[in-house]
């Protein structure tokens, strides 16, 4: 009898311990997060709700959207046992929300029996701003005249803070930069290789909540015919250049194949690099008046010469020349076309030893094929300052300067930037709008 009683008590103790372990097994509430959990949102914003419980798992979740005294149930969901992680997308589009503050209340419970079987509860209130209004764009500049390959500027005002603003058409986007006047200035181009029918520039602004507006502008686009040129690739040129190009075309053997690799693949890589530099631009214009043309230099190849390359009378390649070639004496002193900050000063493939200067608003100038570089990235240079000496490094047969101008990484007609009248009428006068 006595031993039976003992066994009975032992069983009770074991049961109590087991119940205790079960009861206290999970005492931590689930973790929850909402992204974005603050700031502005629009009906286009997808809110991501993440739940996590490492103990017994998530049991349920309830989401309520509150605006003023209006409580709108958005979601109520139960989950099977052992649901450790839950990611849910919350869509507010179906709710009739008003412009202004909005609160999102999230409540989630785990599968634990703690708290007398109710489980552990997490509750959190997120405060956001619901914004349905797209930014209002006020166009401030007039008379936007473009010649194919050339540049132009638009100035506009915005009524709210934006995440992104600029000019777009097709796949092109040119960022606008906020100015001290409070307005935005956007430098862009009618690219040399875009058809007139595809050049329909629009100002675009997207606010922090994601609301976007586009505004057409008045503009005139003038076409321009460019030249076609034949280039004979001689064995003498190859013999002279191949030692330099071998490093750029490591797995290519035959001289003409090395030339083609550099003229095609390396050219493309170098252009991508130039486009990359455009992101390192000053939001303020750094130039001061028209650009300086290299003194006493004769003009050779022009901006947008369509080149066809021949080797032993046979066509081997086609490329477009996207700068202005200038030549004077061998190893001539090369001057900065305008004031700005040096963003590149070293070897770059087809451009050889070259310098890139940033002039702000995405405007940059390129000085290629040099024999000597006198500046370093980060240097501030002034208009006319000597930055190095001309040479024939890179894809150059003889000593000359290849001068390029780029707008947000797109090559543009350099002649316009040398022209004080053009600059005043099309760019500088617009930057003075108050
Ligand atoms: Zn050139």
| pLDDT tens sequence across 135-147 | 999 999 998 999 9
Instruction: Give the distance (Å) from ligand 1 centre to CA of residue 228.
Output: 14
Give the pairing of strands 380-381 and 340-347.
antiparallel
Q: Which two tokens stand for residue 405?
A: 């101008």
What residues have a C-beta under 5 A from ligand 1, the ion?
323, 325, 402
- Taking the C-alpha atoms of residue 185 and residue 166, their distance in angstroms, rounded to an integer, is 8
Instruction: Give the distance (Å) from ligand 1 centre to CA of residue 319.
Output: 12
Whole-number Cα distances in Å, 298 to 290, 324, 387: 19, 10, 19
* Vertex 45 angle, CA 41 and 48, to 5°: 105
The band of 1, judged by pLDDT with boundaries at 50, 70 and 90, is low
What does the pLDDT average to over 364-384? 98
**How far is C-alpha 350 from the chain's CA centre?**
25
Q: Residue ranges of the domains in the chain?
A: 25-130, 137-222, 228-411
| CATH topology classification for 228-411 | Glucose Permease (Domain IIA) (2.70.70)
pLDDT for the residue numbered 3: 78
Q: pTM of the prediction?
A: 0.85
Instruction: Give the distance (Å) from ligand 1 centre to CA of residue 327.
Output: 10
Q: Which residue has the higher pLDDT, 9 or 125?
A: 125
Does pLDDT of 117 surpass 80?
A: no
Identical fold, 25-130 and 137-222: yes
Instruction: Give the distance (Å) from ligand 1 centre to CA of residue 249.
Output: 21
Averaged pLDDT score across all residues of the chain: 94
- Taking the C-alpha atoms of residue 330 and residue 336, their distance in angstroms, rounded to an integer, is 18
Instruction: Give the distance (Å) from ligand 1 centre to CA of residue 369.
Output: 8
Instruction: Give the distance (Å) from ligand 1 centre to CA of residue 257.
Output: 21
- CB neighbours of residue 271 within 10 Å: 18
What does the pLDDT average to over 371-397? 97
Instruction: Give the distance (Å) from ligand 1 centre to CA of residue 402.
Output: 4
Query: What phi, psi does 97 have (nearest 5°)?
Result: -85, 150
Q: Which two tokens stand for residue 422?
A: 């053009």
Q: Which two tokens stand for residue 23?
A: 């009861």
The band of 229, judged by pLDDT with boundaries at 50, 70 and 90, is very high
Instruction: Give the distance (Å) from ligand 1 centre to CA of residue 272.
Output: 17
Instruction: Give the distance (Å) from ligand 1 centre to CA of residue 423.
Output: 23
Instruction: Give the distance (Å) from ligand 1 centre to CA of residue 342.
Output: 20
Please state which CATH number belongs to domain 137-222: 2.60.40.10
CB 208 within 8 A of CB 39: yes
Q: Is CATH 2.60.40.2550 the right assignment for the domain spanning 25-130?
A: yes
């Amino acid at each position: 009898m006595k031993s039976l009683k003992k066994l009975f008590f032992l069983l009770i103790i074991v049961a109590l311990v087991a119940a205790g372990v079960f009861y206290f097994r999970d005492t931590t509430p689930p973790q929850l997060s909402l992204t974005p959990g603050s700031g502005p949102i629009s009906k286009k914003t997808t809110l991501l709700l993440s739940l996590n419980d490492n103990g017994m798992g998530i049991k349920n979740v309830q989401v309520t959207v509150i605006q003023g005294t209006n409580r709108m149930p958005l979601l109520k969901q139960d989950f099977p046992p052992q649901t450790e992680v839950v990611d849910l997308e919350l869509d507010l589009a179906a709710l009739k929300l008003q412009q202004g503050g909005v609160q999102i209340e999230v409540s989630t419970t785990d599968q634990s029996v703690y708290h007398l079987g109710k489980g552990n509860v997490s509750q959190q209130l997120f405060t956001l701003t619901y914004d349905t209004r797209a930014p209002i764009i006020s166009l401030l500049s007039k008379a936007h005249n473009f010649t194919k390959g050339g540049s132009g500027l638009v100035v506009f005002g915005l009524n709210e803070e934006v995440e992104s603003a600029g000019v777009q058409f097709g796949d092109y986007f040119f960022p606008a930069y906020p100015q001290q006047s409070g307005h935005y200035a956007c430098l862009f181009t009618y690219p040399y290789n875009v058809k007139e029918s595809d050049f329909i520039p629009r100002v675009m602004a997207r606010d922090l909540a994601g609301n976007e507006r586009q505004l057409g502008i008045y503009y005139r686009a003038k076409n321009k015919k460019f030249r076609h040129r034949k280039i004979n690739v001689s064995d003498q040129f190859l013999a002279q250049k191949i030692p330099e190009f071998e490093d750029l075309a490591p797995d290519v053997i035959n001289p003409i194949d090395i030339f083609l690799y550099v003229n095609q693949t390396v050219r493309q890589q170098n252009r991508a690099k130039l486009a990359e530099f455009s992101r390192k631009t000053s939001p303020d214009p750094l130039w001061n008046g028209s650009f300086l043309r290299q003194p006493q230099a004769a003009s050779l190849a022009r901006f947008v010469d369509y080149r066809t390359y021949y080797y032993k009378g046979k066509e081997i390649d086609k490329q477009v020349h996207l700068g202005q070639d200038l030549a004077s004496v061998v190893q001539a002193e090369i001057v900065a076309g305008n004031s700005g900050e040096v963003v590149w000063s070293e070897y770059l493939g087809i451009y050889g030893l070259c310098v890139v200067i940033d002039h702000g608003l995405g405007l940059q100038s390129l000085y290629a094929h040099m024999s000597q570089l006198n500046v370093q990235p980060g240097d501030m240079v002034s208009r006319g300052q000597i930055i190095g000496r001309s040479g024939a490094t890179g894809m150059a047969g003889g000593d000359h300067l290849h001068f390029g101008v780029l707008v947000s990484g797109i090559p543009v007609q350099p002649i316009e930037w040398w022209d004080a009248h053009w600059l005043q009428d099309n760019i500088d006068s617009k930057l003075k709008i108050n």
